[in-house]
Amino acid sequence: MTREVWITGIGLLSSLGEGPDAHWAALSDPSFPDPILDTQTCAPCPVHPLAAIDYDRQIPKKGDQRQMEPWQRIGTYAAGLALADAAVAGMPELLAHTHMIVAAGGGERDVAVDLALVHDLATANDPAAALNARLMADLRPTLFLAQLSNLLAGSISIVHGVRGSSRTLMGEEAAGADAARIAHARIAAGQADLALIGGALNAVRQDLAMLYGGSGTALRGPWRPVWQRGENAGFAMGSQGGFVVLEEARHARARGARGLARLVAIGSDISRPGDTAPAEAIWAGMRAHRRPGTLGVISGATGAAPVTDDEHHFLASLAAEGPIAVRATGTRLGHGVEAAFPLNLALAALALGRGGFYPPFEPGEAPADAPVRQILVTGFAARRGQALALLESLDQTGAP
């Protein structure tokens, strides 16, 4: 049994603001505006900070806000936007069978405590023994839950009432792609009718700059568009919340929900840097769904090496099959790691729902020469994993 899966709601939060209108307006600006960057806080790594957000609008209780670190607040807020966009928010009977898969990273460390302990203990005679007393005294008891990976999903349940099921995937970019893949598969196979998937990243975190700087994937020094980083490769983290409501088509029609796009196919696989075979195999499995005309590509290209070149090669082979128009959202929004793939799914659904597409985000990206009715979302993870999702507008019916 394979059932049709629609996207019926999107939640977007980034340096460009919140919601579909702000993102559509900002991303439709053809003048290659400068990115919104913070080059100081996580120096030497530039990051894209979140726009000013009034969290009260989606997380009304201050007590709930206080019990979340910023990445949980970003995600809980974006999830609320998606549920509202799908007209699921505040509908207990729908929320009771909304199945949630969140892609989460690590909790945010209290960098002040980290530094204070390094200052005081690095030269201690017995740092291991002294560490305990300092951690007992200095760690905020509430911090643990505020940064625990599965407590983004837990907070979404508490704040928005999602309770069908709750799973949290981890593992950087692949977690976001696998969350969408598994939710799509569950709906297509009849294991669920309604799902909420997504992720969140607070980019303005020195502890993450240390993690990704060490692993060789973070950008250091001057910023350039993702396709132009050359020797100075790396991703600039972007604060993002990206959530998507997936729904079985008849379920959506029966409740009069508006569909934004059809999620035709999605695949993900393990990969090694320098190898595009996984993406080629995934594309081979969905190529039959491609229709004539220009294929939009919402690329999750990170700017890291060598995976950005890998994707470039993959897209060149895709272009040989027919016209494509590539937009790397990382140039405008930075890289959201776990949030990246869900955010890009949301941006693809936004364009298809509005019957348009985005102008180039940098001079190297070509304008679309025809209306875009299908979009391929790509995720070539900085360290591991490749994923593709094919979406199309709902006015496309029948087999290609």
Site for another protein in 256-275 (CB under 8 A): 268-270
**Dist CA 320 CA 236 (whole Å):** 30
**Dist CA 295 CA 304 (whole Å):** 24
Site for another protein in 288-317 (CB under 8 A): none
Q: Which is nearer to another protein, 16 or 179 (CB)?
A: 179
Q: Residues 23, 48, 73, 181: which binds another protein (CB under 8 A)?
A: 181
Site for another protein in 37-56 (CB under 8 A): 42-45
**Contacts of residue 269, Cβ cutoff 8 Å, sequence gap at least 6:** 278, 279, 281, 282, 385, 386, 387
Alpha carbon 380 to its chain's center: 13
* 65 membership: H or E segment, kind and range: helix 62-66
229 near another protein, rule: CB under 8 A: no
Q: Residues 27, 59, 83, 174: which binds another protein (CB under 8 A)?
A: 174
Alpha carbon 347 to its chain's center: 10
Omega cis (within 30) before 400: no
Nearest to 38 by CA among 29, 30, 48: 48
* 296 membership: H or E segment, kind and range: strand 294-299
Q: Which is nearer to another protein, 270 or 284 (CB)?
A: 270
- Part of the chain binding another protein (CB under 8 A), chosen from 22-30, 181-189, 237-245, 350-358: 181-189
Q: Which is nearer to another protein, 109 or 287 (CB)?
A: 109
Nearest to 71 by CA among 248, 205, 220: 205
* 85 membership: H or E segment, kind and range: helix 70-85
Q: Residues 106, 306, 356, 359: which binds another protein (CB under 8 A)?
A: 106
Q: How far is the CB of 294 from another protein (least distance, A)?
A: 29
Q: How far is the CB of 42 from another protein (least distance, A)?
A: 8
Site for another protein in 371-390 (CB under 8 A): 383-385, 387
CA angle 238, 229, 338 (to 5 degrees): 30
362 near another protein, rule: CB under 8 A: no
Nearest to 168 by CA among 144, 146, 192, 199: 199
Q: How far is the CB of 13 from another protein (least distance, A)?
A: 21
Cβ atoms within 10 A of the Cβ of 232, count?
14
Phi and psi at residue 325, to the nearest 5°: -130, 115
Site for another protein in 117-146 (CB under 8 A): 117-123, 126-133, 135-136, 139, 141, 143-145
Q: How far is the CB of 227 from another protein (least distance, A)?
A: 23
Q: Residues 5, 88, 100, 261: which binds another protein (CB under 8 A)?
A: 100
User: Which residue in this structure is represented by tokens 């060149």?
Assistant: 316
Q: How far is the CB of 118 from another protein (least distance, A)?
A: 4
Site for another protein in 149-168 (CB under 8 A): 149-151, 153-155, 157-158, 161-168
**Dist CA 399 CA 298 (whole Å):** 23
Q: Which is nearer to another protein, 153 or 260 (CB)?
A: 153
Q: Which is nearer to another protein, 141 or 256 (CB)?
A: 141
Q: Which is nearer to another protein, 51 or 91 (CB)?
A: 91
